[in-house]
Structures are given as structure tokens and as C-alpha cells.
Amino acid sequence: MTRRVVIVGGGFAGLTAAQRLARADVVITLIDRTNYHLFQPLLYQVATGGLSPADIASPIRYVLRRQDNVKVIQDTVREIGADEVVTDTATIGFDELIVATGATHHYFGHDEWEQDAPGLKTLADATGLRARILGAFETAERTGRAELTFLVVGAGPTGVEMAGAIAEMAHHALRRDFRDIDPSAARILLVEAGPRVLSAFPADLSRKAEQQLVGLGVEVMTGWQVSDVAEGRAVLRSGDEESVLNPQAIVWAAGVKASSLGSALVPLGATLDRSGRVAVNPDLTIPGHRNIHVVGDLAAVTSDGKPVPGVAPAAMQMGRYVADVIRGERSGPFRYRNKGNLATIGRSAGVADFGRVRFSGFPAWAAWLGVHIFFLIGFENRLLVMIQWAWNYVSRSRSARLVMRHEPVEGD
């Protein structure tokens, strides 16, 4: 009998698994709470007006339109049993389950900070941040209050990308757009609790990244921790020193925790780590259930003795591995192959770490751009992003600079 495979999550891991099962004798139901696959590595471009939401997202059913063995359902999965999942509207049985619901922001016990210091994970986060950042310039022009401060918390790849892109925007894209304020006078602060930016990169590349950030006009504060956030005010601490800021926008890029659906696997015997990730067997199944596979950012697994990082290539490799296991073409433990790390810093700077080969500046930025365009889903998106990027590069413009209002306003 044809086996029923249910995939929860159409992100990097879930979508890759579905595509890898194209020719397998299975019927697949892919369930995602959104109707699109989101290319999260480019979210910061939407948040800073470089790209539009549709440039970095594709409807999942459109991506899989030629794959007859997949049915796509937009719904949210709430509970998981040994042979069925329960969504908001239905109960769906499975022979094999792939759980790939990713991760979200982590406020380390201060969830109340989220309202003032939103993270960047969804398209709504990105357009919301874009409205806050651009709205701050609009308010300054209207009121004549020119001191603008943008605070980015956490100097991992997302924090570094955001700080660099806000600096580019303030110092170049917006330079001529206002009459009463000088956007280039805006302060962009990047705060990091650890001793250096991009701590997952070798120390020499961290130094280069910091130099490139400073060159763009970003103030880098390493060794500083956020101790409070409330109503547009942020308190920073470094040892006994305290600094109080009143930033117009705060971007939270300091922590990640696994999707809450992981806890639905606990009654089946799974355990979660401190970030809420599901501790899986080396073959990515949960203990006692050889037909329940957990992949991507939601899975806590080691490869060659090291924890597998929460990055898109790891999620895609896990998706492919599990599909091959279901097709009966692979056995043995999952092994992650790290092909290198890249981070971008503004318009034409970045760092690249390919083991023995490391470089920074324009070549790293070009490598980052090539890789990201190559992995974008869909030919149209690739073409659109390439054209948009070429234009942004030449003109230094950021044309997706719309402030979207979510609430009705007078006169609407």
C-alpha cells in the first residue's frame, strides 16, 4: 500500500524533503501555517527597504505544482500523536511524519520585550520593522527632532546584516530625501554581550567584520548586555557601567528558540534541550518512534561530535537525508557537511570562511550574493532579486521603502 507521509512546515527542511520524495511511491501532505515558503536569509533586505516581500517568498503550492504526489494544506498543527497530527481544522493520519517547524526569537525569559524590540523571523516582522525604521525618519522630519538612534541587539549574522543595512540606508539611500533633517546623522548601535561580533567566525574575520561595520558608521559595543527594554527605552550594562538609550527602533537579533510544536512530541517520549529543540537519534527520529522524523532548526543533533548549526544548508541536508531514509535508500547516522559560512555587511562588504580559505570585503559580498540568489526558490524570484539588486547597487537606492500601516487611520 502506498505510504502516507505528512510533512509539517514548508521551510528549507520540509520543502527539500517533499521535493526529494517526488518520485517515491508515497502520498505526501505538506502542512504549513502560511501559504508560502520564505527565504529568511533575505528578510533583512525587506526590513530595510531593499526588496519587497514577494521577492523573497513563493507560494508553496506553486513551487510544488508539478509534483503530483503532494497535497499542500495551509493550516496550523497543534498536536502530534503516534500516527496522526491534529491541526486547527482536521486530524490527518500518517505512516511517516516529518516535523520541520523551525525556530523563533528568544528573549531569555523577557518575552515582554518583544513589543518594543521585535525580532526578524516572518514577513510581518520585516514589514513591521521597516515601518518602525522609516517611520522614525518621517516623524523626525515632521517634528524637527533630529536625533535618531537605532539599536540592534546581537551581533550574529542577522544583527550584523541589519546594522550594516540600516547604516547604508541612513547614510546613502535617504540622504537626499528629507529637507529638515540629515538622515546620515542617525546613530546606529550594534550591541553584543560577547567579546566580538560574528562569534561563529574565526577571530580574524570578526575583526574585519567590525572594521567594515565601523567604516559604514555603525557604533559597535561588544561586552554590553541589554538589561531592560520598555516603551522605547533600553538599558545596557557592562560590568558596573550602565547606559540608558531612547532608540526610535530596536531590532532583536540576540537569540533563537525552537518552534513550540516541539513540545507536542514530549508526550510521545521526546525530550527538549534548553532552546526547546527536540533531542533526536542520530538518524533524526525520536526515541521509540522510527516513523517520526524531526529536521531543520527544530532538531538538536550532533555530527562528528559537534552540534549541527541552525542554518539553511543544514536544514536542507536533513530534509534530503530523511527523504532518502523514507525511500529506503539511506541508513546510518545523519552527517552534516559544512560548506562554509558567509555574512554580508552592507552594500559591498562581507566575510567568508571556507575553512582554509577566508576572505573579506567585496569578494565575500559577491560570494554571499551569488550563493543567496542561487538558493532562492523559483526562477522569477531569482530574476527579480538580481534586477532589483543590480539597480540598488548602482543607484544606492532602496525602492521598497513603504511604511505600511496595519491599523485604520483617519481619512482611510
Cα(34)–Cα(143) distance, integer angstroms: 39
- Among 161, 168, 192, 210, the active-site one is 161
Q: Is 161 a catalytic residue?
A: yes
With CB under 6 A as the contact rule, the residue among 46, 297, 325, 349 that binds ligand FAD is: 297
246-265 residues near ligand FAD, rule: CB under 6 A: 259, 261
For position 198 contacting ligand FAD by CB under 6 A, the verdict is no
- Residue 241 Cβ vs ligand FAD, minimum distance, rounded to whole Å: 30
Sequence-distant (6+) residues with CB within 8 A of 386 are 373
Enter the C-alpha cell of residue 124.
Answer: 510581518
Q: What is the DSSP letter of 87?
A: E
For position 45 contacting ligand FAD by CB under 6 A, the verdict is no
Binding mask 153-192 for ligand FAD (x = CB under 6 A): ----xx----------------------------------
User: Is the torsion defined by CA of 33, 36, 39, 40 positive or negative?
Assistant: negative
- Residue 371 Cβ vs ligand FAD, minimum distance, rounded to whole Å: 9
Cα(359)–Cα(393) distance, integer angstroms: 21
Cα(201)–Cα(78) distance, integer angstroms: 37
C-alpha dist (Å) from residue 348 to 339, 351, 379, 383, 393: 22, 10, 24, 20, 8
Find the residue with minimal CB distance to ligand FAD: 11
Cα(255)–Cα(192) distance, integer angstroms: 11
124-143 residues near ligand FAD, rule: CB under 6 A: none
> Do residues 35 and 74 touch, judged by C-beta distance below 8 A?
yes
For position 311 contacting ligand FAD by CB under 6 A, the verdict is yes
Q: Which is nearer to ligand FAD, 119 or 183 (CB)?
A: 119
> Do residues 299 and 278 touch, judged by C-beta distance below 8 A?
yes
For position 369 contacting ligand FAD by CB under 6 A, the verdict is no
For position 11 contacting ligand FAD by CB under 6 A, the verdict is yes
- Residue 32 Cβ vs ligand FAD, minimum distance, rounded to whole Å: 4
For position 10 contacting ligand FAD by CB under 6 A, the verdict is yes
What would the 3-class secondary structure string for 130-190 be? HHHHHHHHHHHHHHCCCCCEEEEECCCHHHHHHHHHHHHHHHHHCCCCCCCCCHHHCEEEE
For position 388 contacting ligand FAD by CB under 6 A, the verdict is no
Give, in degrees to the nearest 5, the angle at Cα 169 between 164 and 175: 140
For position 120 contacting ligand FAD by CB under 6 A, the verdict is yes
C-alpha dist (Å) from residue 234 to 80, 118, 152: 40, 13, 11
Q: Which is nearer to ligand FAD, 63 or 181 (CB)?
A: 63
| Torsion angle of C-alpha atoms 297, 17, 307, 334, degrees rounded to 10 | 160
- Residue 192 Cβ vs ligand FAD, minimum distance, rounded to whole Å: 16
- Listed ranges 96-104, 131-139, 175-183, 207-215: which one lies at the site for ligand FAD (CB under 6 A): 96-104
Using CB under 6 A as the binding criterion, the count of chain residues that bind ligand FAD stands at 34
Residue 62: which of 30, 91, 87 has the closest Cα? 30
Residue 159: which of 296, 312, 47 has the closest Cα? 47
Enter the C-alpha cell of residue 312.
Answer: 539553511
With CB under 6 A as the contact rule, the residue among 5, 6, 30, 40 that binds ligand FAD is: 40
Q: Which is nearer to ligand FAD, 313 or 361 (CB)?
A: 313
Q: Which is nearer to ligand FAD, 134 or 258 (CB)?
A: 258
With CB under 6 A as the contact rule, the residue among 315, 322, 325, 400 that binds ligand FAD is: 315
- Listed ranges 147-155, 224-232, 312-320, 403-411: which one lies at the site for ligand FAD (CB under 6 A): 312-320
Cite the active site residues: 161
Contacts with ligand FAD, residue ranges (CB under 6 A): 8-14, 31-34, 40-41, 43-44, 76-77, 100-102, 120-121, 157-158, 259, 261, 296-298, 310-313, 315
